[in-house]
């Protein structure tokens, strides 16, 4: 259990509204999938979501999970990551319920640690870099990914 339940309710209603605005229909499978994403603070794979949804809605298929994830990603409501473990992983996009952060990835056990420290200094560097790069390469920067790879404490001491 993470955070209060009230905020998540808001989030879901917000999502539904955005969905309708874009001309999409709000369906039971989509609601269920969005609930799983909104309730979790993990980096979920399609199968993770499928299995969780399956407990309450056994007839929702994995295909629909993939389709909904693509939709939400295209709409910018979630973010798709590749952490190098052979499957895509998803989390809420930056917003009221999710702070800007980056990841430490353990090369041995694949554990992912989120950090929000150093974000101020990072923003400083990123802003200057983005400005310089945009000018030099005429490249319209929309986002960035920073991953640190290494060995976590649990793995270091065997």
Partner DNA sequence: TAGTTATTGAAAACGGTTTTCATTATCAAT
Partner DNA sequence: ATTGATAATGAAAACCGTTTTCAATAACTA
DSSP character string of 21-52: HTT----HHHHHHHHHHHH--S-EEHHHHHHH
Of 137, 4, 63, residue with least CA distance to 53: 63
At closest approach, how far in Å is the CB of 139 from Zn ion?
Answer: 9
Counting contacts by CB under 8 A, is residue 125 touching a second copy?
Answer: yes
Those residues with Cβ within 8 angstroms of residue 107's Cβ, 6 or more apart along the chain or in another chain: 149, 150, 151
Which member of 25, 55, 138, 158 binds a second copy (CB under 8 A)? 138
Site for Zn ion in 104-143 (CB under 5 A): 106, 108-109, 111
Q: Is 42 left (phi over 0), alpha (psi -120 to 50) or beta?
A: beta
Counting contacts by CB under 7 A, is residue 66 touching DNA?
Answer: yes
Which member of 47, 74, 85, 114 binds Mn ion (CB under 5 A)? 114
Counting contacts by CB under 8 A, is residue 41 touching a second copy?
Answer: no
At closest approach, how far in Å is the CB of 56 from DNA?
Answer: 12
Alpha carbons 12 and 73: distance in angstroms, whole number? 16
Counting contacts by CB under 8 A, is residue 117 touching a second copy?
Answer: yes
Of 112, 115, 103, 101, residue with least CA distance to 155: 112
Which member of 9, 76, 84, 95 binds a second copy (CB under 8 A)? 84
Report how far Cα 121 is from the mean position of its chain's Cα atoms: 23
Per CB under 5 A, residues contacting Zn ion are: 106, 108-109, 111, 152, 155
Per CB under 8 A, residues contacting a second copy are: 82, 84, 104, 106-107, 113, 115, 117-118, 121-122, 124-125, 128-130, 132-133, 136-153, 156
């Amino acid at each position: 259990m993470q955070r209060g339940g009230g905020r998540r309710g808001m989030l879901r209603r917000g999502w539904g509204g955005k969905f309708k605005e874009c001309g999409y229909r709000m369906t039971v499978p989509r609601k269920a999938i969005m609930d799983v994403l909104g309730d979790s603070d993990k980096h979920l794979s399609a199968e993770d979501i499928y299995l969780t949804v399956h407990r309450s809605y056994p007839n929702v298929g994995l295909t629909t999970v993939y389709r909904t994830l693509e939709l939400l990603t295209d709409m910018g409501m979630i973010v798709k990551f590749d952490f190098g473990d052979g499957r895509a992983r998803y989390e809420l996009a930056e917003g009221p319920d999710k702070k800007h952060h980056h990841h430490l990835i353990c090369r041995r056990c694949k554990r992912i640690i989120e950090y929000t420290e150093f974000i101020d200094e990072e923003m400083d560097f990123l802003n200057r870099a983005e400005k310089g790069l945009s000018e030099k390469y005429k490249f319209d920067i929309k986002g960035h990914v920073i991953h640190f790879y290494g060995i976590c404490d649990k793995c270091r001491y065997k």
